[in-house]
Structure 1
Amino acid sequence: MILMRIHSRLSFQRLLKKALLNINEDEISFLKREKIPFENGVEFQDLHHPYAYDLDIFGAHSLFQNLNRTATFIGKKTLAETLLHKATNDEILENQQAIKELTEKLDWRQEFLAFAKVSQDNQSSYEGLLKWSKNSGSTLSKSTIVLSYVSPALFFAAFLGYLITDNLVWVKCLSYLFIFNLIILGKFVKRIQLEIANSGKIDSIIHQYSLLVKKIESETFHSQKLIDLQQRLQFKSANASTHLKKLSELFSRMDTISNLITATLFNGTFLFNLHVLKALLEWKKEHAEVLEDWLMVIGEFEKLNSLANFSYNNPDFVFPTINSDYKIGFSNLSHPLLNPKTRIGNDVHFYPQSFMILTGSNMSGKSTFLRSLGINMVLVGTGSVVCATQADIHPLPVLVSMRLSDSLSDSESYFFAEIKRLKQIMDALEEQPAFVLLDEILRGTNSDDKRNGTIEVLKKVIAKKAIGAIATHDIEVCLTTNDYPGILSNNCFEVEIIDNDLHFDYKLREGICRNKSATFLMKKMEVI
């Protein structure tokens, strides 16, 4: 038994070391831009979300895949929900402080992730545990509880009597009591099976949850967010890890019901599984309300660890200053997922003018610039660092119409899908101001209709106090700035023809784009 305990401990340590090795190998290959060995969260994709699909929040090479350093289902889910919903200003500031602190705790973060990886948690295990905790059911009756103690006591009394007197009458009594105990258990077999239904390996997963929680409980934190999360793990003068460890042990003991020999022996003598059932029901009654909250704390830490890892990997990124004056400004803004060796930053400020009309030829960088704005505004809303050297931001909900697709299943065209998205944006602006990004809207109609529609959409968006940018190829749309000089501004990306080749510098300029590249490129490629 001693050797088995040593073996079990060393086997677990070996798993942890292998997990740590895997974590660092993955991180090195990621930083070398060889691969992105992390889950991409495609299951959280929502084509109707105001920006998730347009800004590549989920899927291959997405923001989620680059950020994700979670290994439990609740961690992955929490990170996904954080990227889909803007936090309040107070929550953003709390998250910033927590992320700053965790950024410096590299060893702790990696050890926490290693524990999570070893757990081999998945959605079915997580949801099965929550379903079990919320399925209250009835507790055992007082008569059953009394019987569960009296019958085994009589069995051992008869056994003791046989040992003392060596009278075979006691053996007959033992036989009857053994059978009687099995009959009692038989009445509760269905209830036991119901309690442990779909609980394969759940004892080991709960045990790993307890280790994750203990890792949180044993660390010293200074930021208020992390301290508050840590305090949520206190329950009835004991740590959550202690309660979870007990639950793991109860599920492990209940596994004996599936072994015919063990179940017969243990239950025929002292109704083992009935006592375990009683303890499980009592645990559920006392802890059902807090179990989900404990798991949410694990998810919060995995989310914050992911954002802290992002900060650690990008020391040149900054935490934005948060304001409430509807001012948004970035210095050296770029897209956080672009290669740092080649990405080009731009200064952009949405004050005093609050809305930008952006022009430029194809491939000049308009769409990438709009996505850079959108992605960084999403990061601001999580409390994360942003890809800029300085940022002063009023966090706003992000609304985007950039990349839609025909929905054959819904029998709607690209144009109708775009109209629905614009309607969604207008409805959202009725409730509160937002950061709006529009890229070449109304592409499914003729040029006059497109131009007039774009101008009217632009006027309505700025009338609703939106901040943001619209990209267009139509120069007449840019003339709208003459009517709203205090609100609208014209900016552009230019292209130059140098040595009979196109040259893009991807630098944002004031004014309207003058150079054209389409005709030149088609002639060069002998299209025309």
Structure 2
Amino acid sequence: VYFSTKELEQLGTKKKDLMMEYEEKQRDIVCKAMVVAASYVPVLERASMTLSELDVLASFAYVAAYSSNGYCRPEMTDGEEDGLGIEVSYSSTERCDSSLWFSKHNISFLVNTFQLTGARHPCVELQDDMNFIANDFNLVFGASSFLLVTGPNMGGKSTYIRSLGAIITLAQIGSFVPCTSAKINIVDHILARVGAGDAQDRGISTFMAEMLEASSILRTSTKRSLIIIDELGRGTSTFDGFGLAKAISEHVVQKIGCMTVFATHFHELTALEEQEASVTNCHVSAHSDKQNGLTFLYEVRPGPCLESFGIQVAEMANMPSNIITDAKRKAKQLENFD
């Protein structure tokens, strides 16, 4: 404004004073409103926590009541004082059924155990057009606590061992579980090394990430832990990978002694069952013939699987026939060399 009068200047000054007074009173009102609102914070926080817990419990109840395949209430046990630390010994002929062994020797104390019948993966079974094949787990401390899982590529090994981790997690947070029946011992850690991936932003390769996770598991686990390992050592050479997988398996069995499920394509590891009483072999079954090719059955059965059916899986992926022929010939040469 370049030209003004005294009357306009007075009006301008009065307006500024009124605006300052308005803003000051507005700040006072905001402060008072915040003080009043803050007094309700503890109540709102408690209400939020209560509603959150109610939401979770309602979700648990809904899943347990309306699951198409049925959930069961797990029987939770704690073998901290009664089962852990007790050393047992038995012959290889008695290893096949640990529960019969304990009964035969009149041992009735509570032992650290995972006995799951009809176990399913809670997420995988929800996929469209999915006819999920349920399987069992029977891990008993000192008798069959290290489960070595072999089987073909795409046969369901990873889903099988991951389902155990998901079920134990659900049970320990208070949910029913996707099983026909379940007896579960409380664990202090669920430690998983599954999948494959690098961290380019940190300069970590796939194999390095695998080793970092495995190292962390070995440092953290106790006798009361659950370890889940999927195809350890696949990110490096066959000999180095097998050496690491065998050494880590033996360390877990001999030094840690916790419940472990270990999926692998290193068939030589299955010999651990003859060396360590707590190691049990099982495999994910598949059927292969010249007419129908490879058929996955997804059933977990006792004993090892000494084939990975990698070439058959490549054939299912429409790999060129000349590649398949050369692969079979080379695999045969290597088998004869061994």
TM-score (norm 2): 0.71
Aligned to 2:330: none
Partner residue of 1:292 out of 25, 35, 45:
45
CA shift for structure 1 position 310 = 1.6
For residues 165-211 of structure 1, the C-alpha deviation after alignment (integer angstroms, 9 at most, x for no partner) is: xxxxxxxxxxxxxxx99987643423444x5xxxxxxxxxxxxxxxx
C-alpha separation between the residues in 2 aligned to 1:456 and 1:376?
28
Aligned to 2:267: 475
Aligned to 2:132: 343
Aligned to 2:169: 378
C-alpha separation between the residues in 2 aligned to 1:377 and 1:409?
33
The correspondence of residues 251-262 of structure 1 with structure 2, limited to 5 A, is none
- Asked if 1:411 is matched to 2:169, the reply is no
Q: Quickly say closer, same or farther: Cα 1:522–1:416, change in 2 above 3 A.
A: closer
The structure where helix makes up a greater share of residues is: 1
CA shift for structure 1 position 370 = 1.1
Aligned to 1:331: 117
C-alpha separation between the residues in 2 aligned to 1:460 and 1:344?
32
C-alpha separation between the residues in 2 aligned to 1:288 and 1:338?
41
C-alpha separation between the residues in 1 aligned to 2:286 and 2:279?
23
Which 10-residue stretch deviates more, 339-348 or 387-396? 339-348
Could you tell me which runs of 5 or more consecutive residues in structure 2 were left unpaired when the two chains were aligned.
Answer: 1-16, 80-111, 325-338
Equivalent residues of 2:293, 2:312 under 8 A apart: no
Q: In structure 2, give the amino acid aligned to 1:317.
A: Y
Q: In structure 2, give the amino acid aligned to 1:294.
A: A
Aligned to 1:319: 73
For residues 453-477 of structure 1, the C-alpha deviation after alignment (integer angstroms, 9 at most, x for no partner) is: 1111112223213212101111221
For residues 396-431 of structure 1, the C-alpha deviation after alignment (integer angstroms, 9 at most, x for no partner) is: 22111111421111111111111111122122215x
- Asked if 1:495 is matched to 2:286, the reply is yes
For residues 493-522 of structure 1, the C-alpha deviation after alignment (integer angstroms, 9 at most, x for no partner) is: 122124332112111111110345223444
Report % sequence identity: 24
Aligned partner of residue 201 in structure 2, secondary structure: coil
CA shift for structure 1 position 295 = 1.4
For residues 206-244 of structure 1, the C-alpha deviation after alignment (integer angstroms, 9 at most, x for no partner) is: xxxxxxxxxxxxxxxxxxxxxxxxxxxxxxxxxxxxxxx
The structure where strand makes up a greater share of residues is: 2
Could you tell me which runs of 5 or more consecutive residues in structure 1 were left unpaired when the two chains were aligned.
Answer: 1-179, 196-276
C-alpha separation between the residues in 2 aligned to 1:289 and 1:444?
51
The correspondence of residues 361-440 of structure 1 with structure 2, limited to 5 A, is 361-396=152-187, 397-430=189-222, 433-440=224-231
RMSD of equivalent CA atoms:
2.5
Q: In structure 1, give the amino acid aligned to 2:219.
A: D
CA shift for structure 1 position 379 = 1.1
C-alpha separation between the residues in 2 aligned to 1:181 and 1:454?
80
C-alpha separation between the residues in 2 aligned to 1:403 and 1:304?
31
Partner residue of 2:234 out of 427, 443, 446:
443
The correspondence of residues 101-120 of structure 1 with structure 2, limited to 5 A, is none
Aligned to 1:512: 304
Equivalent residues of 1:401, 1:439 under 8 A apart: yes
Q: Quickly say closer, same or farther: Cα 1:181–1:518, change in 2 above 3 A.
A: closer
Equivalent residues of 1:494, 1:514 under 8 A apart: no
Equivalent residues of 1:494, 1:515 under 8 A apart: no
Q: Quickly say closer, same or farther: Cα 1:339–1:480, change in 2 above 3 A.
A: closer
TM-score (norm 1): 0.46
Q: Say how many residue pairs are matched.
A: 263
